[in-house]
Amino acid sequence: MTYTEPAWAKLNLALDILGKRADGYHELRMVMQSIDLADQVTVSPQPEPGCRVTSNLLYLPKDEGNIAAKAALRFFEASGTPLPGLSIDIQKNIPVCAGMAGGSSDGAAVLRLLRRLYAPEMTEEQLEEIGARVGSDVPYCIRGGTALAEGRGERLTDLPPLPPCHLVVCKPSCSVSTPELFAQVRVRKLRCRPDTAGLLRALEEQDLEGVARRMYNVFEDVLPRRYGEVFAIKGELLGLGALGASMTGSGPTVFGIFSDREKAAQAAETLSGQYAAVHLCRPVQREIKS
């Protein structure tokens, strides 16, 4: 038998860093949103013990270096049962090293599948706790939808859904190392912060323009000069009619929010003449319930 789940990509509508913690991680305040760009993750039990990962992206690690395999190991450690034979296949559609939590979302899909197969009595909170041991974004990726993520990223509050809209997502060719970017941040020196409280109010009021206008990611403040494409794409999206545009996660992907489908499609077409990875997406609401 094989079991498949979509692993949705995420965007940050806001990303704020509040301080550095004693454990070396940073205290975050992020507004997260799932979108309908997804990897397909398939788990199949195997007679031989051990966990093997295959993918259409041949260079992805096949062992614990892959967050999907790490998720399986943490799941069986937590449930106190030996690791059975498992093969995990990942059909990758989410750009890698893009700030869209592609790896974390694959790990989250593995955890959801393993709960379904081996521990249906496990609560979502327990699954999210295991997810936090796999990676900071994994708990959010387990639940998806629109959520506030605080602490390391594991303290989650569901939010009203992002109002219906169209998202143009564009990844420039440069790549950014997440730990390196965190290391650049001096919290007291950040010149601009997202208006997260105002953004949450705009979500309550289902005011799409209010959300779009308040989006911001503090990592934009510390991007090295060589990532100038990020700001060029932001400017282009706004010029092409986006209500707001921001970088997601530690980048370098940039997205714009549009209320008008035609304008969004036109913007996606214009950008795809210049950048290899351009996607026209819709938000995805939370489906998983504990």
Please report, as residue ranges, which positions from 86 to 125 form the binding site for ligand C5P (by CB under 6 A): none
User: Is 135 an interacting residue with respect to ligand C5P (CB under 6 A)?
Assistant: yes
Cα dihedral 74, 75, 80, 86 sign? negative
Which of 95, 153, 249, 251 touches ligand C5P by CB under 6 A?
153
Which of 33, 136, 146, 248 touches ligand C5P by CB under 6 A?
136
Cα dihedral 229, 234, 240, 245 sign? positive
User: Is 54 an interacting residue with respect to ligand C5P (CB under 6 A)?
Assistant: no
User: Is 155 an interacting residue with respect to ligand C5P (CB under 6 A)?
Assistant: no
Which of 52, 92, 152, 193 touches ligand C5P by CB under 6 A?
152
The answer to whether 52 and 83 have CB atoms below 8 angstroms apart is no
For the bound state, the minimum distance from the C-beta of residue 35 to ligand C5P, rounded and expressed in Å, comes to: 19
Query: Is residue 10 among the annotated active site residues?
Result: yes
| Burial readout 97-124 (b: 16 or more C-beta within 10 A, e: otherwise) | bbbbbbbbbbbbbbbbbbbeeebeebeb
By CB under 6 A, how many residues form the interface with ligand C5P?
A: 11
Which of 3, 18, 26, 118 touches ligand C5P by CB under 6 A?
26
The one segment of 22-30, 36-44, 47-55, 269-277 that binds ligand C5P by CB under 6 A: 22-30
Query: Is residue 137 among the annotated active site residues?
Result: yes
The active-site residue out of 10, 70, 171, 234 is: 10
Report whether the peptide linkage leading into residue 82 is cis, meaning its omega lies within 30 degrees of zero: no
For the bound state, the minimum distance from the C-beta of residue 135 to ligand C5P, rounded and expressed in Å, comes to: 4
Between CA 105 and CA 102, with CA 171 as vertex, the angle to 5 degrees is 10
The answer to whether 35 and 15 have CB atoms below 8 angstroms apart is no
The active-site residue out of 16, 39, 106, 137 is: 137
Residues of the chain by 3-state class (helix, strand, coil), percent to 5:
35, 30, 35
Which of 179, 189, 225, 289 touches ligand C5P by CB under 6 A?
179
The answer to whether 53 and 222 have CB atoms below 8 angstroms apart is no
In eight-state DSSP terms, residue 281 is: E
The one segment of 4-12, 133-141, 200-208, 253-261 that binds ligand C5P by CB under 6 A: 133-141
Strands 277-281 and 166-171: antiparallel
Residue numbers annotated as active site: 10, 137
Binding-site ranges for ligand C5P (CB under 6 A): 25-26, 28, 135-137, 152-153, 178-179, 182
